């Protein structure tokens, strides 16, 4: 009995994940890509590439040279404040879209937005660690 219940739960979870993927449902937002990562890094990385007018290869190369995202933006003529402000605005728009779609509550979005500027600034100022024996985690 217990084994059957566990099997049913596992199958239910697999179906809950697989059905939207098989149905072709894309993550929210114009920067979602096929196989994208939702509101996380994939969408933000695509937005930053467009913002800085850089393709992924050029962006990766600049990161491999040891530049933070803020430093890359400054090399492209954008101040740190402008760059971080634009990314924060983008992420807030994504939160608002999730609220409108009913995926999160307004309270959840507000909680994320409260600390967003400092978290994003910290991430954008971070210098990537050099790869260890190949491609590093931050070098995708």
> Which is higher by pLDDT, 125 or 32?
125
Residue showing tokens 């913002």:
51
Task: Report the pLDDT value the prediction gives residue 99, as an integer from 0 to 100.
Answer: 95
Judged by average pLDDT, the poorest of 70-74, 97-101, 112-116 is 112-116
Q: Is the pLDDT of residue 48 over 60?
A: yes
Q: How many residues can be counted in the chain?
A: 140
Cβ distance 130 to 137 under 8 Å?
Answer: no
Q: What is the mean pLDDT of residues 34-49?
A: 64
- Quote helix, strand, coil % in the chain, to nearest 5: 65, 0, 35
pLDDT exceeds 90 at position 12: no
**Which of 44, 122, 49 is CA-nearest to residue 89?**
44
The distance of Cα 63 from the centroid of its chain, to the nearest Å, equals 16
Q: What is the mean pLDDT of the chain?
A: 75
More confident residue, 127 or 139: 127
The domain spans of the chain are 30-132
* Averaged pLDDT for residues 3-30: 44
């Amino acid at each position: 009995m217990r084994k059957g219940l566990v099997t049913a739960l596992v199958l239910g979870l697999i179906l809950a994940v697989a059905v939207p993927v098989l149905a072709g449902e894309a993550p929210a937002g114009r920067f979602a890509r096929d196989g994208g990562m939702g509101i996380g890094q994939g969408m933000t990385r695509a937005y930053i590439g467009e913002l800085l007018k850089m393709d992924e290869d050029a962006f990766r190369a600049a990161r491999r040279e040891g530049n933070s995202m803020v430093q890359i933006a400054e090399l492209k003529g954008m101040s740190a404040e402008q760059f971080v402000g634009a990314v924060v605005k983008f992420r807030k728009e994504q939160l608002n879209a999730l609220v409108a779609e009913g995926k999160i509550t307004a309270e959840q979005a507000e909680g994320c937005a409260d600390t967003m500027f400092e978290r994003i600034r910290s991430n954008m100022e971070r210098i990537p660690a050099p790869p260890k024996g190949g491609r590093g985690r931050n070098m995708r």
